[in-house]
Amino acid sequence: MEGVQSIVKRDEAVWFEDGNVVLQAGEIAFRVYQGLLAMNSEVFAGMFSVPQPDSVERLDGCPVIHLSDHPDDLRHLLRVLFIDKRFHRRDEQFSFAIIAALARLAHKYDIKDLLDDALHRMKSCFSNAFHDWAPTRDNECVGSPLMAYVETDAIAAVNIARLTDTPSMLPTALYVCCQLDTDNILNGVPRGHDAVERLSSEDITRCLDARLKLVHDNVVSAFSIFTIATSDGCTSQKNCLLLLEELLEIEAEGRGLPLDNCSCLEDWIPPLREDAETGPILEDLCASCQAMVQERAADERKEIWERLPAIMGVEVDPWITCKRGYARRTNPPKCSAQTVGSASEGT
């Protein structure tokens, strides 16, 4: 049909001259292989099983199937299926936006292997195991070696967990949502394509209720970590008592880590190692008292982690608690953010 050819733009990345079917999303057309699509997707197989009338719309001699997806999202899906196999490797980091698009479309079109891979990447950042989740928050860059994200992406992570029936992601995704501005929680965040990603009314309520509990736990943690009592092996008791008292005063006055927020699961130790004009740092304590403070901070994180599903109002089975000694790690592995740009541009 000449009218179609004059309006539709052929995709530069996904257009195979020997393809035998055209998928059109918006004004973008993708020419691909019907048999390979059907082999990967029960939904596409069902579409192709319906006999097409002679009057079916055609482009370059191929039948055209109109899809409601955004062309950028569909391009990500088709590139993974037909061009770029890097997505299935475990040494490539992708952006959350790409992973989310693939998860949604793989679920919609029943492409199980691709959905499993996308959820595997997403669960590397929104995990039910503390030893997997903690490094994604303790790094200089937020994310894992498999996926980079920003905190506002947590709203989409919650919705994808609901869509795909993946409850193991919910406690940590909802926890990150609690770190957002109230306006983001209530009204959502831009997703691109002029869309807005919003939490359900039930999940909004969960976040608002949980924020009160998390702030309470944050204050309790501070007073527990800086309890004015030295370790059994303290080598400078008078000095360490004064330092602990000053550290507690700094926290109580809000001059150190902020107490009036929901970040009670974050690692308290790295900020205590930084030079600051506000007061003493961890290294000012004797070695024994430094170890004691680290142990207290680890215990607080462990205790809150174990209660996190209940705090967020969801049920998760299994919920994996801290590995012995993990919460005391102060130098977790860092993610390699340099691969995000190349992966994003190539998929």
Amino acid letter, residue 147: M
Q: What is the pLDDT of residue 22?
A: 97
Helix, coil or strand: residue 29: strand
Kindly report each contact of residues 235-242 with a partner whose C-beta sits within 8 Å and lies 24 or more positions away, as own/partner: 235/286, 235/287, 235/288, 236/286, 239/286, 240/285, 240/286, 240/289
The pLDDT, as a whole number, for residue 283 is 85
- How many CB atoms lie under 10 A from the CB of residue 270? 14
- The angle formed by the CA atoms of residues 48, 52 and 53, to the nearest 5 degrees, is 175
Look at the block and give the residue holding tokens 């961890």.
282
310/122 Cα distance (integer angstroms): 22
| pLDDT recorded at residue 277 | 57
With a cut of 50, list the residues of the chain below it in pLDDT.
1-4, 328-347
**pLDDT for the residue 77:** 96
pTM of the model: 0.86
Is residue 222 within 8 Å of residue 189, measured between CB atoms? no
Q: What is the pLDDT of residue 254?
A: 60
- Written as six digits, the tokens of 108 are 């919609």
* 3-class DSSP state of 129: strand
What pLDDT does residue 60 have? 92
Buried-state track 44-53, b at ≥16 Cβ within 10 A, e below 16: bbebbeeeee
> How far apart, in Å, are the Cα atoms of 60 and each of 23, 35, 67, 177?
12, 18, 18, 47
pLDDT of residue 166: 97
Residue 324 has what pLDDT?
52
